[in-house]
Structure 1
Amino acid sequence: MLHLTLRQIEIFSAVAQSGSTVAAAEVLGLSQSATSAALKQLEQGLGAPLFGRVGRALVLNDAGRAVLPQALALLEQAQAIEQAFAARAAPGRARLPVRLRVAASTTIGTYVLPQLLARLARSHPEIHVDLQVANTREVADAVQALHADLGLIEGASHGDGLQVQSWLRDELVLVAAPDHALALQARARPLDAPALRAASWLLREPGSGTREMVEHALLPHLGQLQVSATLGSSEAIARCVARGLGVSCLSRLLVQALVDGGELVLLPTTLPRLWRDFSLVQRTGRPLSPARQAFVQACLELAHGPS
């Protein structure tokens, strides 16, 4: 005989994600006392506490961290059952809404996600996406901690327990202001390694996928980069480069409009063309729900076909 209920699992997951029974109660439309009572019953049924208290916040302990992925999987499976039978009972009725928490690194969140979300809205209007934009390391951490259902990153992920799948190729290009000394020099001939090595570079902060990919692509050829400034936004870097403050290596997706508008120029070089992969990140071992499967499919369709 089961001693656990799906409602208890739902409440546990809400507390784990919000950090308190008060916040979880607001999300679920319950009283705080009912939420606390259900959580206590779950812990009694399992024979172990699932949280520790840090100040006024509830923080998952080792047992809670072990239970959370299974709890989320159960809730996703229950939601899938509801969706399937709702569709059978009323084929013409809109499907029940599903919320999907997605974390994306900056360039993807700004330049790729709008098209991707539009595609998903057309094919699966019942899926509502809550989007968090951060750098690659923070996105991987959010997926690892189950604060995000899926992550989209620009660089490699070195975290344990993560499944990484390449899905879209992006070109990295070197840019400068049209009147920058290197831009003027490049009109006569492509820039070689010594010229690039002597330049002042504007780069993203450590932990950024763009920073990691730029260093991975350029350092084997240049040995070192003279970094004059680091900024937390690739778009800010592009604007600073357009003002003549240095050169940079950025996503073509990001700079193309500025190049078309004459604010930036692409620097021809003797280096090979630079590419990086955008990747999907999921928690290893977590069953793929219908909503996450639909999101992954939209990503793959965007990479391989027209919108």
Structure 2
Amino acid sequence: MIDKTTQPALQRLRLNLRQLEVFLATARGGSTRAAADRVARSQSAASTALAELEAALGCELFDRIGRRLQLNENGRALLPRAQAIVDQAFEAQDLFLGEHAATLRVGASFTIGEYLLPGLVSRWTQLHPRSLIQLRIGNTSEVLDAVAAMDVDIGFVEGSQTHPDLVMQSWGHDEIVVIAAPGHALAQQCATPQQLSQATWVVREHGSGTRQVTDEWLLGHLEQVRIGFELGSNEAIKRVVAASDGLGCLSRHAVEQSIADGHLIELATHLPKARRKLAIVLHREKKLGRGASDFLAHCRAAAAF
């Protein structure tokens, strides 16, 4: 029996989880067709759900630009609240499936995603066998965009880039080092700024946290920086440097194994050390669930860098 005192509240509730799920999928995919694929519904069902949601709210949530749907001011205001509601619904559902059963979506920049997080994720899943973590790796700009769009729950980045919708929390430090092939002409000496100014450099792409620090470091201490290659991954840079007379700038975490194996050397220079901060990135309006909060505590406790 329903208590009559609850009836007015029930009558005011015009939204449902299906509509919010379609709204979130449309915001990420840019169309109801893409949303339908994400939520395993027909396009007509997705379009109907979105239309019902807009009718219930009494406003449009997207600007229609050709066939593409782009969030307008109303949609941007709803986005974090809709995501929180859907996340909480999944948490409620997972209460009966076991600890941390919900999928945790994590975004990480290349250095962190390839060299720091794998061990942390492995230990986490050993402690929580039912936990599932989706790790999405990109450059720092891409990770910030993913957290801002709520495509991931948590981000890990290096560098000092910011975003108005995000909160950056300190997580540790990292050091950038100069690398070269073992047979490089400068390998047996401490390279001067003049010698480094004449060298050819192999660097990461713009938008990378490593590239941001590299530019600030080198341009602040050298007369010129002659860039020969811009590459989109740390592994590609290591391979090119090992096979050429180019010099590279990468995180110590990214090169320590290659140096230990003798494939690369850390080049001694007269430059001051280049240190940078590592950060955890969260959306200002997103409330973390238990699984995300516990995983962050695990990462913070294990950080020794």
| CA deviation string 1:202-252 (max 9, x = no partner) | 111111111111122333332432222222222111111111231112111
Tell me if the contact between 2:100 and 2:290 (Cα under 8 Å) persists in the aligned partners. no
Name the residue aligned to 1:89. Answer: none
Residues 30 and 228 of structure 1: is their aligned pair in 2 closer, same or farther, counting only changes over 3 Å? closer
Aligned-residue offset at 1:131:
2.5
Pairs aligned (count): 294
Residues 96 and 259 of structure 1: is their aligned pair in 2 closer, same or farther, counting only changes over 3 Å? closer
Query: Is residue 239 of structure 1 aligned with residue 231 of structure 2?
Result: no
TM, length-normalised to structure 2: 0.87
Query: Is residue 166 of structure 1 aligned with residue 177 of structure 2?
Result: no
Aligned-residue offset at 1:302:
2.5
Q: Secondary structure of the residue that 2:220 maps to in structure 1?
A: helix
Residues 21 and 127 of structure 1: is their aligned pair in 2 closer, same or farther, counting only changes over 3 Å? farther
Query: Is residue 21 of structure 1 aligned with residue 21 of structure 2?
Result: no
Aligned AA for 1:13? Answer: L
Find 2:47's aligned residue among 30, 33, 36: 36
In 2, Cα distance between equivalents of 1:248 and 1:72:
41
Aligned-residue offset at 1:2:
2.1
Name the residue aligned to 1:62. Answer: 73
TM, length-normalised to structure 1: 0.86
Name the residue aligned to 2:105. Answer: 101
Tell me if the contact between 2:100 and 2:128 (Cα under 8 Å) persists in the aligned partners. no
Name the residue aligned to 1:141. Answer: 145
Fraction of identical pairs, as percent? 43
Aligned-residue offset at 1:172:
1.5
5+ long unaligned stretches in structure 2: 1-11
| CA deviation string 1:89-134 (max 9, x = no partner) | xxxx634731222222112222122112212212333432222221
Which of 94-103 and 138-147 deviates more? 94-103
| CA deviation string 1:151-183 (max 9, x = no partner) | 221222232221111213222111111111111
Q: Secondary structure of the residue that 2:196 maps to in structure 1?
A: helix
5+ long unaligned stretches in structure 1: 87-92
Which of 199-208 and 269-278 deviates more? 269-278
Name the residue aligned to 1:222. Answer: 222
Query: Is residue 11 of structure 1 aligned with residue 22 of structure 2?
Result: yes
Name the residue aligned to 1:175. Answer: 179
Name the residue aligned to 2:5. Answer: none
Residues 96 and 291 of structure 1: is their aligned pair in 2 closer, same or farther, counting only changes over 3 Å? closer
In 1, Cα distance between equivalents of 2:167 and 2:233:
26
Find 1:113's aligned residue among 114, 117, 134: 117
In 1, Cα distance between equivalents of 2:17 and 2:171:
35
Aligned AA for 1:152? Answer: F
